[in-house]
Amino acid sequence: MNKAEQIRLENIADTDHEIFALLKQRYSPRTFKNESIKDRHLKQLFEAIRWSASSNNIQPWRFIYAEKGTEAYTKIFNCLSDFNKSWTKNAPVLLLSAYQEKTEEGKENFHALHDLGLSLGSMTVQAQYLGIAIHHMAGVDWQKAQKEFDVPEGFHVSTAIALGYYGGELEDLPKDLQGLETKKRKRISQEAFAFKNQWKLGI
């Protein structure tokens, strides 16, 4: 067993209750296998998004993606925070997510971000099934990204995402980030967010 496989095993969630295996196995690495993502796999990821749940079937999600070595990849990379730049350079694919702010009738789409999140959840499970790791990033200069890619008015860049097959080498990361890959995963308890019958005060 190589180090990459060992890290994957160590990162399987220690759940309080049994859940779907792909959800237990999912985590957000900062290192990826040095291999391009197959085109058919990318199509499968976006097909999972295509069939995601959406309020009134508006499907407000939009994505810009680019493969390593292209000008568009560099443009996305340059929109990331310095911290994210320190490790994303090894990702085979970078992606920007965006959402349509209003309906076709011009009304505010209050649920657009909810739908975008649902679509990315679908993509994440599909990616896990294909052995593709996804790391979602809030650290992106969305205003710069809007300008770089001529995003039309009415659409809002939200997050950036790094994608690649699991199996990257720990040594590809800066020393200060290597410990994050094997750090024990933690989550708040269900009781802290799932309230039966009424909101729990003080939580």
Sheet with 93-100, side-by-side order of all strands = 61-67, 93-100, 155-165, 132-137
pLDDT at 7: 63
CA distance 190 to 197: 14
Is the CATH code 3.40.109.10 the one for domain 3-192? Answer: yes
pLDDT at 203: 60
Residue 161 tokens read as 């995402």
pLDDT at 8: 64
pLDDT digits (tens, 9 = 90+) for 146-160: 999 999 999 999 999
Residues of the chain with pLDDT under 50: none
pLDDT at 171: 87
Ranges of H-type helices in 62-172: 71-77, 82-88, 112-129, 142-148
CB atoms within 10 A of CB 122: 18
pLDDT at 3: 61
pLDDT at 134: 97
pTM: 0.92
* DSSP per-residue string spanning 3-19: HHHHHHHHTS---SS--
pLDDT at 102: 95
